[in-house]
Chain A
Amino acid sequence: MVSVVEMPEKTSQITASGPEVRRGLIEIKQLDFAYGDHQVLHDVTLSIAPRAVTAFIGPSGCGKTTLLRCLNRMNDLIDGARITRGSVEIEGIDINAPGVDVVDLRRRVGMVFQKSNPFPKSIYDNVAYGLRIAGITKRTLIDEAVERSLRSAALWDEVKDRLHVSGYGISGGQQQRLCIARALAVEPEIILMDEPCSALDPIATAKVEELIRQLKQQYTIVIVTHNMQQAGRCSDHTAFFYLGRLIEFDGTAKIFSNPRQRQTEEYITGRFG
């Protein structure tokens, strides 16, 4: 009963072009995923366009987070969690293949978590963390990167005078943008965001959404959201999941104005979920 999923036109165009435009392209192919015996993703096939925002929507527990965490192999950390079929390819490379360096993968695929998790270090050290991990020690380089990342995360003006206060000494919205800045500092190609605004007030949410719209100039962004309006406001493509299956995937405008599936329509109009 699962529909034939139509890829957004933009994606297929880009896939057909040369390697440079494939930068940041993610292809999920017939993915099945299970926690132990409990299968939570069923036959998900999805192609995520580079330099655009793709939103995953769907009711709680439908597997959005799980799928997102497949994209940087964060599920490796969970005992018994595994892909049982299918593959995830980034720029044409199967990220679960034996030779793949997961550390390198995660540097290229940044992640912002649902619960903002600044490190109990200064704002500066939070942003510098990924660079230092990567072995960069030159102070001027780190200074530059910290400023650039904080500016990209639209946080610089708010914290430039207190870079050495704890990452916990700022508001919740600022903490989440700090986490985004931290992810940007290592210059990833793809940024995964798992409900980044779920704990934020409307003003902070608006700031993060504005930020997401700007970041897509340079990054492929995948955002999980609970919030229909948010998906509508800041994504180019939207994938609707239900009970571990991809029900519909299309341009955001299309999904919201004229969904093909009845379930999608019911979810979007708030009749369930």
Chain B
Amino acid sequence: MNDEARMTNVEGMTNDETASNAGSPSSFVIRHSSFGRGRFLEALTFWIFRLATYLILAAATYIFLDIGIKGGRTVFTRTAPFINVAFLSQAPQTLYVFDFAGKKMTLGDREFRDWKSVHPGVEVEATSVAYSAGGIWPCIVGTALLVIGSMALALGIGISSAIYLSEYSRNGPLIRLVRIAILNLAGVPSIVFGLFGFGLFVIFFGWNVSLIAGWFTLGLMVLPAIITASEESLRAVPQGLREGSLALGASKWQTIRKNVLPYALPGILTSSILGIARVAGETAPIMFTAAYAMKDEMPWQVARFTDFFFQGVMALPYHIYVVSSKIPQNEYTERVQYGSAFVFLFLVMLIALTSIVLRERSRSRLSW
């Protein structure tokens, strides 16, 4: 009946159009008239949507090509071993640029001193460019340390509270408040986390700019994502497995430990790996809590064991920030900027890839 009504309606419309289209009674002309504004609008919207989609492709291509080409020049070499080992294994050094015997010389800190000792008495006018020679090894190490510590912290707290929320708590007003808090925490901009960490950990707790202050700041930042992912994974474990275990005389905690958590853990870890990418990538939370622009010793070169936790470290994203905005820019700065970005992007992609592989693996292993 509905269909019928629609049909009459269409017919009615056609009649109206016929009437307005005086002098051309054939139905062919009526269909022709719809080539007007309606058609044009259709095509326009289609193209807007289509272009918007292709724009993403263009942006992605540009970013990856730009960093790939410029960074590749730093990271790869033309001769064996084809990878710039020095860039990956040395600390940043100041670059010295000068003319000597009609040749342009670009030497790192140490090379420059060696050169001077070989050429005693030669006075050269050298331009120095900070951080633009040597490599980024301390930054890679620092970022790794920040990631490991903050993820351990966030996973510990996050999984515990997710277990509490999804397995133990009943949905009272307090729990609703907790959920709102988690949602809000997830929306806090990272620079605010940085400021918070600075105020609480660096100043109030007196930890100074240190690994441990960075761990707590970054850990808190990814905590909401970890809790949410963990809760989701826990909820994905069928209720039947819990009941089956309880019915065998298992206590609640035994059930969770033996028959819920093991099945949720792969999911928790794979989603958390994306958290790793975030922790590794954020600059704002660490710039006043954990990161040094330059540090000569490696993190393990500390006098006492406890000093390890209370030292600042270099970090990849902060290093990119420093070499791109804190030093005068010239043709020699690009090398480290894009080299670091390349390494950084590569690491993040590696992490994401691991996450995907892990997820596919656990998916095929756990099915109910």
Contact = CB atoms under 8 A, between A and B. Distances in A.
Interface of A: 72, 74, 77, 79, 103-104, 106-108, 110-111, 113, 115, 117, 119-120, 129-130, 132-134, 168, 179, 182-183, 186
Give the residue among B240, B244, B250, B366 with the most A Cβ atoms within 10 A. Answer: B244
Residue of B247, B251, B367 with most partner-chain A CB within 10 A: B247
Contacts of A179: 244
A117 B240 contact: yes
Interface in B214-247: 238, 240-247
Interface of B is mostly: helix
B23 interface: no
A110 B248 contact: yes
Contacts of B249: 103-104, 106-108, 130, 133-134, 186
A124 B249 CA distance: 18
Contact of B247 (A79, A111, A120): A111
Contacts of A186: 248-249
Of the listed residues A104, A106, A119, A134, the one surrounded by the most CB atoms of chain B closer than 10 A to its CB is: A119
Contacts of B250: 103, 129-130, 133
B231 to A, nearest CB: 17
B263 to A, nearest CB: 6
A115 B243 CA distance: 11
B241 to A, nearest CB: 6
The bracket for how many chain B residues form the interface is 20 to 34
B248 A183 contact: yes
Nearest to B251: A103
B243 A130 contact: no
Contacts of A106: 246-249
Contacts of B241: 117, 119-120
Contacts, number: 68
A129 B246 CA distance: 11
Nearest to B249: A107
B243 A120 contact: no
A168 B263 CA distance: 14
A47 B238 CA distance: 33
A104 B242 CA distance: 16
A246 B322 CA distance: 79
Nearest to A107: B249
Contact of B238 (A74, A108, A117): A117
A79 B258 contact: no
Nearest to B237: A120
B247 A183 contact: yes
Given A120-B263, A120-B367, A74 B246 contact: yes
Interface in B297-348: none
A111 B243 CA distance: 9
A169 to B, nearest CB: 11
A117 B243 contact: yes
B13 to A, nearest CB: 50
Given A129-B258, A133-B258, A117 B248 contact: no
B368 interface: yes
A245 to B, nearest CB: 26
B254 interface: yes
Contact of B367 (A132, A133, A168): A168
5 contacts: A74-B246, A103-B251, A110-B248, A117-B244, A133-B245
A74 B244 contact: no
A172 B107 CA distance: 73
A77 B240 CA distance: 12
A77 B245 CA distance: 13
Interface string B343-368: 00000000000000000000000111
A129 B243 CA distance: 13
A112 B336 CA distance: 65
Contacts of A117: 238, 240-241, 243-244
A182 B248 contact: yes
A133 B258 CA distance: 9
Closest 4 interchain pairs by CB?
A: A107-B249, A117-B240, A130-B248, A111-B247
Contacts of B246: 74, 77, 106
A179 B240 CA distance: 12
B247 A72 contact: yes
A113 B259 contact: no
B366 A120 contact: yes
A129 to B, nearest CB: 6
B170 interface: yes
A77 B243 contact: yes
Contacts of B368: 120, 168
B244 A107 contact: no
A113 B248 contact: no
B176 to A, nearest CB: 14
Q: Which of B170, B245, B249 has the most CB of A within 10 A?
A: B249
Best-buried of A111, A113, A120 by chain B (most CB within 10 Å): A120
Contacts of B259: 119, 129
A106 B368 CA distance: 24
Interface string B102-144: 0000000000000000000000000000000000000000000
Interface string B164-203: 0000001100000000000000000000000000000000
